[in-house]
Amino acid sequence: MRKVISFFGFVAVMLAVPSVADAQKSRDVVGYDDRPLMCSAVFGTLMERAHSASDNKAFENYKIWFNSLYEMGVSNIVRAGGTKERAKHELQKYFELTEELAEKQKDKSAELIAYCHRIYNMTLRQ
């Protein structure tokens, strides 16, 4: 009788270990930091406006900031199990939100730009 109970106990443990490992794996991939993609969209919008205004210095600065944060955002998504195509889709979503915010809430746009400058400066320290 003891051998039967021990055997079933052993089987139960062996079946539980992989499910615990799978649960841990799925928990690690659930989310990612989307701030770099959001801010790359903000800087992309500013980059387009600087280009339209023929402000080459501002254009170059925004381009550097855009590229840096975009690469970080792509890396975050890929690390979380996503794809580069998903990153492009997310960036497009943020471009649309940024444009909408700029049109409807100009006072909030300035706050978002300041926030994104802080995010960019934080990435330089890493």
pLDDT score of 30:
56
Instruction: Using the predicted structure, report yes or no on whether residue 20 has a pLDDT greater than 70.
Output: no
Across residues 75-80, what is the average pLDDT?
A: 93
Chain segment 5-18, per-residue pLDDT in tens: 544 444 444 544 44
Tokens coding 23: 């649960």
DSSP state of 30: S
Quick one: pLDDT at residue 126?
63
From 87, 96, 79, 74, select the one nearest 31 (Cα to Cα). 79
The domain limits of the chain are 1-30, 35-125
Question: pTM of the full predicted structure?
Answer: 0.71
Q: What is the mean pLDDT of the chain?
A: 80
Both tokens of 119, joined, read 């995010």
pLDDT of residue 103: 87
Please tell me what DSSP assigns to residue 77: H
Q: Is the pLDDT of residue 31 over 80?
A: no
Cα-Cα-Cα-Cα torsion 72, 78, 82, 88, nearest 10 degrees, comes to: 40
* CA distance linking residue 95 with residue 57, whole number of Å: 22
Q: Residue 42 — very low, low, confident or very high, per pLDDT cuts 50/70/90?
A: very high
CA atoms in the 13 A half-sphere facing the CB of 31: 3
